[in-house]
Amino acid sequence: MDWDDLRVFLAVARAESLSAAGKGLKIDPATVGRRIARLEEVTGERLFAKSPQGYALTEAGTRLLPHAEAAERASLAAAESLSGPGGLTGQIRLGAPDGCANYLLPQVLARICDANPGLEVQIVALPRVFNLSKREADMAIAVSRPEAGRLTVQKLTDYHLHLAASRSYLAAHPLTSPQDLRDHRFVGYIPDMIFDKELDYLAEIGAGPATLTSNSVSVQLNWLRNGAGVGVVHDFALPAAPELTRVLTDRIHLTRAFWLIRHEGDGRLDRLNRFADQLTREVRAEMARLEALVSASEQHA
């Protein structure tokens, strides 16, 4: 069985489309279709069922999938063994929720790339759970530890959240006790687009409902910066929003964690292991630095 045909098979299985698979492989969809037909002829099995929704794996395709993934890992491991033990090279795609992607990862990954000039990193910032089985990313950061799937999971770091608002808003709308919250306008997530229960902050603290809502942390933060109301904010994002100040810190505070999620079989890939180690160290150091900045700025306010 030809590895190149298996590579095409994996691309179609993940993209569920000949055109999307071809785009990723940089070959035309007709060629993708011919390669799948050739593989089906070799195996004597129909590997995909075509429907209006796209290409779905048949029972035979599902049986072939883990073997194709194992061949992919073997190919990547062979390439790594020839590249030597030097700095990290090649492309790594990291998925992350947009708060983490906007306010924590840019500086972390810039430092990692400074130390590894041959490394190319892509951040995919999406307000939803990533599907690693479709190779949307090489690894992903999540706010909840997954309970199912062929995955390896490690804790990156804890982080903290507090209520915050702009100084201009608080000057016009004082907030000195939890009882005052009912008189304030809240900024938060669109309720039916909260993709993880860990993000339902306002329900946990008994505030809201929010009247200004977005599925994007950055949009919420910019509303707060412009004096739109009160909202729950990541402490690590506050250095990027000097207009904001935390409120009721002794009464209302939340703690969450970021988890690094990887394909189960990728633990044998030295390059990804070394990247995960560097990412973990740098994320923890940067989190400590940013949260210390927030505490220091409030002490000197």
- The pLDDT tens digits for 8-27 are 988 898 888 999 899 888 89
Q: What percent of the chain has pLDDT over 90?
A: 62
What is the Cα 62 distance to its own chain's centre?
26
In the chain, the domains with their CATH numbers are: 3-83 (1.10.10.10), 90-155+259-293 (3.40.190.10), 158-256 (3.40.190.10)
Q: Is the pLDDT of residue 275 over 90?
A: yes
Quote the CA–CA distance of 112 and 275 in Å, as a whole number. Answer: 8
The pLDDT of 189-202, averaged and rounded, is 91
Q: Give the pLDDT confidence score for residue 229 in this predicted structure.
A: 97
Return the higher-pLDDT residue of 2 and 221.
Answer: 221
Q: Is the pLDDT of residue 131 over 80?
A: no
Q: Give the pLDDT confidence score for residue 52 in this predicted structure.
A: 85
DSSP SS3 for 127: coil
Beta bridge mates, 261: 140, 153
Q: Give the pLDDT confidence score for residue 53 in this predicted structure.
A: 83
Could you tell me if 166 and 226 are in contact, meaning their C-beta atoms sit under 8 angstroms apart?
Answer: yes
Quote the CA–CA distance of 288 and 281 in Å, as a whole number. Answer: 11
Confidence class for position 267, pLDDT limits 50, 70, 90: low
Quote the CA–CA distance of 214 and 200 in Å, as a whole number. Answer: 13
Quote the CA–CA distance of 45 and 109 in Å, as a whole number. Answer: 44
Q: Give the pLDDT confidence score for residue 132 in this predicted structure.
A: 57
Q: Read off the pLDDT of residues 42-66 as tens digits, 9 standing for 90 and up.
A: 999 999 998 888 899 999 989 898 8
Averaged confidence pLDDT in the chain? 89
Q: Give the pLDDT confidence score for residue 288 in this predicted structure.
A: 96
Tell whether the torsion through CA atoms of 66, 69, 73 and 75 is positive or negative: positive
212-213 and 186-188 strand pairing: parallel
The pLDDT of 239-250, averaged and rounded, is 95
Q: Is the pLDDT of residue 156 over 60?
A: yes
Q: What percent of the chain has pLDDT over 70?
A: 92
Q: Is the pLDDT of residue 252 over 60?
A: yes
First to last CA, the chain: 68
Q: Read off the pLDDT of residues 105-130 as tens digits, 9 standing for 90 and up.
A: 999 999 999 999 999 999 999 766 65
Q: Is the pLDDT of residue 243 over 60?
A: yes
Could you tell me if 186 and 231 are in contact, meaning their C-beta atoms sit under 8 angstroms apart?
Answer: yes
Q: Give the pLDDT confidence score for residue 268 in this predicted structure.
A: 64
The residues near 149 (Cβ < 8 Å, ≥ 6 apart) are 132, 133
